[in-house]
Structure 1
């Protein structure tokens, strides 16, 4: 049965996600930047309050996904700190200047996460070669890739999402996200064969998941 991850940009949203049937929370800050590493104290509060899985974004800044040595060191430190809080997994992605997967750095971060599952986030949608990129992130040890199908949203990327699911052959979870709502999740599910879906569930222009939208997302794939 398909599962739902809700991107949450504040503590209120994490509670809404859990209360209304989400399977997992992706916790991050700075919605306007597409998500960055959340506040440590707020993550600690979320960890205590949630019984569903809590994955944390590890991204030191907005913008591109090519990081300096200092920024990469920040990412390493963050994984260690948040791991000690008992989060269930991590979300990150490092590219090189050519738009390829930085295999050395990603592998190092996956290793640092230990047994915790890692999701390669929508940096994937900026790669130059999605076929090779998927093989590379599988080789790095990621469990999941979050992608809109290398398009601006899942509707435009639907065919690529379907192809990625087929290429993955169960070796990694391809999780559609980006413009995913209760109004299109059923079709994306049927057309791609994906089994995990990602949405902010924000339909009111705020930065907080809307309870009725979380409910509708869950209902759409769990009838």
Structure 2
């Protein structure tokens, strides 16, 4: 199956250093997040402003007020609308959103409201899509709401496991919405997934853990309920891994 849109690679990063590493490694675009340990949350305005200053490639900002599910309260949804407007006013080129109903469908009304607030920015639906009960119906709902792109692992933990659904999703989309595959993609499997599915774009995070540079470490205090060891580790984007995975994808 031939893709309907120019092939692109998006890298999911946490913060400014991740953006710089991704663009130096040859990424086409970045999804800019905070807290990848929770699957990505909305970064601060300061981070976004600095990204606009140093970025040489486009980046899309995730609009996700908390971890957990994608069933939001009225106040949470109101904050998402305000975050979208703030990104638009700053001159960001795209946002990444996702809202579901309690019965596992795309919340079409809220999705349309976010799309309307975002324009002229591009809008991607993130992996909330993978938590829907019927991916075929979800694609149609996103198309009706005006969403430009959907990020999906084929409703499985990994893209390799979700290959059949990814292929079917791309066929159903039929160019009406960009289908961007994700899910544990790396140098060893990204070409296989690209060839098998015919998706338009691919998305991955290439992360490595570094030890903290802190010389003094208080053994009696841990922040945020995490293990104390985690206080002295930093997760960063691995520029070499990004470069190698992009090369493998483009060679497919």
**TM-score, with structure 2 as normaliser:** 0.86
- Which residue is 1:147 aligned to? 152
Conservation of the 8 A alpha-carbon contact between 1:26 and 1:57: yes
- Which residue is 2:121 aligned to? 116
Q: Are 2:133 and 1:157 aligned?
A: no
- Which residue is 1:78 aligned to? 83
Structure 2 CA distance for aligned equivalents of residues 203 and 171 of structure 1: 36
- Out of 97, 108, 111, which is 1:106 matched to? 111
- Which residue is 2:231 aligned to? none
- Which residue is 2:237 aligned to? 209
Report deviation, 1:39. Answer: 1.1
Report deviation, 1:204. Answer: 4.9
Q: Which is further off, 201-210 or 154-163? A: 201-210
Structure 1 CA distance for aligned equivalents of residues 237 and 154 of structure 2: 23
Conservation of the 8 A alpha-carbon contact between 2:208 and 2:235: no
Structure 2 CA distance for aligned equivalents of residues 71 and 207 of structure 1: 28
- For the residue of structure 1 that corresponds to 2:175, the secondary structure is coil
Structure 1 CA distance for aligned equivalents of residues 250 and 185 of structure 2: 16
Q: Are 2:198 and 1:170 aligned?
A: no
In structure 2, relative to structure 1, the CA distance for the partners of 1:156 and 1:203 (3 Å cut) is farther
Aligned-residue CA RMSD (Å): 1.2
- For the residue of structure 1 that corresponds to 2:86, the secondary structure is helix
- Which residue is 1:133 aligned to? 138
Q: Are 2:17 and 1:12 aligned?
A: yes
Report deviation, 1:221. Answer: 2.7
Structure exhibiting the larger radius of gyration computed from Cα positions: 2
Structure 2 CA distance for aligned equivalents of residues 41 and 108 of structure 1: 25
Report deviation, 1:182. Answer: 1.6
Conservation of the 8 A alpha-carbon contact between 1:126 and 1:150: yes
How many matched pairs? Answer: 223
Structure 2 CA distance for aligned equivalents of residues 43 and 182 of structure 1: 29
- Which residue is 1:219 aligned to? 247
Q: Extract unaligned runs of 5+ from structure 1.
A: none
Moved runs in structure 1, 4+ residues, more than 2 A? 203-207
- Out of 23, 42, 45, which is 1:40 matched to? 45
Structure 2 CA distance for aligned equivalents of residues 34 and 24 of structure 1: 18
Report deviation, 1:207. Answer: 2.4
- For the residue of structure 1 that corresponds to 2:150, the secondary structure is strand
CA deviation profile, 1:151-207 (whole Å, cap 9, x unmatched): 111111111001101111011111011211121110000000112110011255852
**TM-score, with structure 1 as normaliser:** 0.97
Q: Extract unaligned runs of 5+ from structure 2.
A: 1-5, 211-233
Conservation of the 8 A alpha-carbon contact between 1:4 and 1:217: no
Structure 2 CA distance for aligned equivalents of residues 18 and 32 of structure 1: 22
Structure 1 CA distance for aligned equivalents of residues 77 and 165 of structure 2: 30
CA deviation profile, 1:18-60 (whole Å, cap 9, x unmatched): 1110000100111111001011101110111112111000000
Structure 2 CA distance for aligned equivalents of residues 114 and 131 of structure 1: 25
